[in-house]
Amino acid sequence: MSEIVVKKKKKKVKVFPIVNAIVFILISLIILVPMWKVIVDSFDARAGYGMLFWPQVFSINGYKEVVTNAVLYKPFLISVFVTAVGSLLGLTLATLGAYVLIQYEMPGRNFFANMLLFTMIFNGGMIPTYLVMKNLHLLNTLGAVIFPLAINVYNLVLMRNFFEGIPGSLFEAAQIDGCSPMGIFFKIVLPLSKAAIASIGLMFMVTFWNDYTNFKIYINDNSLFNFQIKLRSLVMDNDMPDVGGVDPNTVKNAATIVAILPFMIMYPFLQDYFVQGVNVGAVKE
């Protein structure tokens, strides 16, 4: 790296790039070491001692326990279910709503837009929302955790920002060719917004997968807990199910890794979609 700098600027070797690179190697280590430590401990049958960065006694019993113990894999399946259903529902709401919001000549469009935006300024708060859930008889059902997160005004506005990037001439051309508004939506907007849908779909998936608060507030039933709740009670409250002869610490570490595994696998391939959402959200001109 330093050679390139030397050639381009025709100057002597500089200290800064090297120091800078070292700084970032250190930062990367600071990020990675905690994760690595948990990975190592999850494979270590003796769930080892502080400063070891390689399993002493290699075993996959921790993972085996997470996969085979019903107390642990059922919450995982609930997480998967909630993530899948919730993301689909959320994406549907956001896409449909966003397409309506770009119809600037539609009577009532501004009213709808303001109505959505107002919820970003003011909200009822935790207890009134809880009481509404109670009135709707949604407490202790998965609906209570899916519905409130599925209507995400921030994501809807983000989707609108994406849609606004589609050139207006395309709509006009389609209109002149006799395409109905619905036809425009399905034949032009959706195919052109694959990246946006992927990006916002991922955001929904992260939200639903990582949801802890809503489960904590609305769900009181052991059989409906998701993996985050289970993980928390496992690690923080030492609420350990019967794990046979496996070291509880190994199981804790393995469960932590399982909770992040889906996104760790997807993330390197989909990084651009994740990043795209942030940029469209804030730096839109």
Partner 1 sequence: MQCKSCNTELPKHAKVCPKCGAKVSDKGPQNLKVIAIAGAVIAFIGGLLPFVQNTGDVEKAYSFMNIQMPVFWYLYMIALVATILLCVAKKEKLSIITTAIAGVIFAVAFFVSPFAEYAGRQQGKGGTVINKYNNVMLSDLLSNGENGIGMGTFVVIIGLIVAIIGVFFDLLKYFKKEINVDAKYMTNSINKSVWSMVYYYRWFYVMFLPALIFVLLFNYWPMLGLRYAFTSYKITNPYYIGITHFHEMATADIYFWTAFKNTLYLSIIKLILNTGAAVIISLLLHEISNIIFKKTVQTIIYLPHFMSWVVTASLFRLILAPSSSGMVNTFLAEVLGMFGGNPSNGIFFLGDPRYWVGSYFVINVWKDTGWGTILFLATLSGISPELYEAAEIDGANRFNKMRYITLPALTNTIITVFILNLAKVMNLFESVFVLMNDAVYDVSNVLQTFVYYKTFGGGRPDYGYTTAVGLFRSVVSGVLVIICNYASKKVRGRGIV
Instruction: Give the helix/strand (H/E) hosting 172.
Output: helix 168-176
Site for partner 1 in 185-244 (CB under 8 A): 185, 206, 209-213, 216-217, 228-229, 231-232, 234-236
CB of 55 to partner 1, least distance (A): 14
Of 61 and 90, nearer to partner 1 (C-beta) is: 90
CB of 256 to partner 1, least distance (A): 5
Binding region for partner 1 (CB under 8 A) out of 19-27, 56-64, 67-75, 190-198: 19-27
Site for partner 1 in 50-109 (CB under 8 A): 50-51, 92-94, 96-97, 99-100, 103-108
Per DSSP, the residues of 71-134 read HHHHHHHHHHHHHHHHHHHHHHHHHHHHHHHT-TTSTTHHHHHHHHHHHHH----HHHHHHHHH
Of 61 and 280, nearer to partner 1 (C-beta) is: 280
Among 13, 18, 23, 173, binds partner 1 (CB under 8 A): 23
Of 61 and 146, nearer to partner 1 (C-beta) is: 146
User: CA–CA separation, 171 vs 180, rounded Å?
Assistant: 10
Of 68 and 110, nearer to partner 1 (C-beta) is: 110
Among 117, 170, 173, 265, binds partner 1 (CB under 8 A): 117
User: CA–CA separation, 36 vs 26, rounded Å?
Assistant: 14
Q: In the block, which residue shows the tokens 């050639």?
A: 7
* Binding of partner 1 by 256 (CB under 8 A): yes
Site for partner 1 in 152-171 (CB under 8 A): 153, 156
Q: In the block, which residue shows the tokens 């960065």?
A: 53
Site for partner 1 in 123-142 (CB under 8 A): 123-132, 136
Dihedral sign, Cα of residue 227, residue 230, residue 235, residue 241: negative
Task: Considering only the C-alpha atoms of the chain, give the largest distance between any 2 of them, rounded to a whole number of Å.
Answer: 73
Q: Three-class SS of residue 58?
A: strand
